Each structure stands twice: as structure tokens, then as C-alpha cells.
Structure 1
Amino acid sequence: MSPVSETHLAHRLNLRLNVEPSEIGGIRHTVIQHIGSWECAAIADDVILVVSELLANVHEHAEGVCELEIEHQDEGLVVKVSDTFMTPPTLGHRHGSAETGRGLLLVDALTDHWETTITGTGKVITCTFGTPGRGISP
């Protein structure tokens, strides 16, 4: 993985990325290490799947340039992916034989809440994951 820049704080990981499909595995590895250090193993698989899907979308729709921020809070994790593509993603229903288009259904199923905010330079997708027994309010 070759992040443009990387910041590690006690409870926050911030990566500026040029996403290539071959590097998503390395990014996942970095995220797993941080989630483990924050003792959030119970939600790690869900977080990794959502991060992978959002980064694949960045590669496909936003020329691969994004910022990934993951913050550990008392109630769980907040994941933000910012890119320069101003069109918000839409949650749709795909035909069972479709080969693509199910990613946001996965995001919707695995997060406590997710939303898109359009900014002056693109958009931010924010996803919340509560730890078992706790939840993060939208």
C-alpha cells in the first residue's frame, strides 16, 4: 500500500489514498491492525467488508483518490470515505443475476447507519458500527 499520507492517533486512523485494486488488501491489513488495537474485533469483519466496498467504488467512480478515516469511539467505530466525485451513491435493488451493484446493499446491511454528505469538493460517506451491546446514534 502506498498511502499519500498516513496519520495514526490513539483512536483514529487517517489515510489519504490513491486506490488501486491490487492495494486494497494492504489497506485492509492496516485497518485490521488498528481495529485490533482498539479491541473492536467483534465488528472487524463487517468494517473490513464495508471499507473494501467503499474503496472499490472510489476506484471505479472517483479516479481512486480518497481519504479514509476511521475513528474509535466509546460506542463503536465511525468510518468516513471522502472523494471528489459529487454524485451520491444510490441504494437500489439489483436483479439476482447481476454481477455488480450489490455493494451498497451490503453497506446498508452491515452498518448501524450510513449517509452521504455532498461537500464543495465532492462527497463524504459516513458509516457507523456499534459494538455489541452499544450503538452509535446517527
Structure 2
Amino acid sequence: MADGISMNVRGLNKSMKRIRQVAPNVDRELDKMQEKSAHEFVAFAQGVAPVRTGDYRDSINAKRVTDTEVGATRSFSLGAVKAGSKVVSAWGIFADWIWHFLEFGTVDTAAQPHMLPLLRLLKKRVGGRMRRAVNKAVKDALKS
């Protein structure tokens, strides 16, 4: 028996609106979780990134994404963030422009996948953290 909240991404805005009515601090909990997950992703990505001079590896970083950047940038986002979503906080993973050529290869060079396999590896962990953050916020709101 599951004890907690389950959300379908299709109704994310509607579900989050209802959750915010019960637990106003849910955005703060989700932001802490997203920041932790973003920095964890960066640490792993820098560890597995192809190194020639080290410039590319050092360019991989995480930063908070503003509303105007959601959907407009070419970054990895942690969680289900789409353009038009009512996002209070989102974190993106950014790297030099060359990441796409390294990830997928070119006509002359073989692919060296490192970002997408890592994203698939951490997807379940990040999803679990998101659920736990929402559950924690709701439980804290119901206590007080």
C-alpha cells in the first residue's frame, strides 16, 4: 500500500495548484530537491565526460532557470518542465555547445554518449526525490 501522493504529468499544473493550496511550502521543498539533483548530475557528468583539454568538462554546470529560459534553452532539465508550465523553480544543466557533437557524434567522429545515459540512470532517483519532497511538504503542512 502506497502512502503518499502520485501525480500524472498530464495534469501537472492542476495537481500542483491543488497541492499548493494545502501545502504552500511545496515549491521550496521541490527547489531544494532540484538543486541537489542538479549538482549531483553535474558531479557525475564531469566524472564521465570525455576529456581532451578539460575545458568541456569544466563547462558543465547547473544553474537555476528563469521562466523566460524554460523551453527556450538547450539544456537538460530535471523533472517535467515544459514551455508554458507554471514553474516556480527549475534547474538546468548547461555545457559548452560541443556537448551535442560529443554525445551523438559527427560524420568524422564516433559518438561518446555521456549525458543522456546519465540522465536515464538518474531519472528514477530524481522522480523519487520529487515525490518525497511533495509528500514532506504536505505532511508538514498537515502537522501545523
Question: Smaller-chain TM-score range?
Answer: 0.3 to 0.5
TM-score after normalising by structure 1: 0.32
TM-score after normalising by structure 2: 0.31
Larger strand share, 1 or 2? 1
Higher relative contact order by CA 8 Å / sep ≥ 6: 1 or 2? Answer: 2
Max radius of gyration: which structure?
Answer: 2
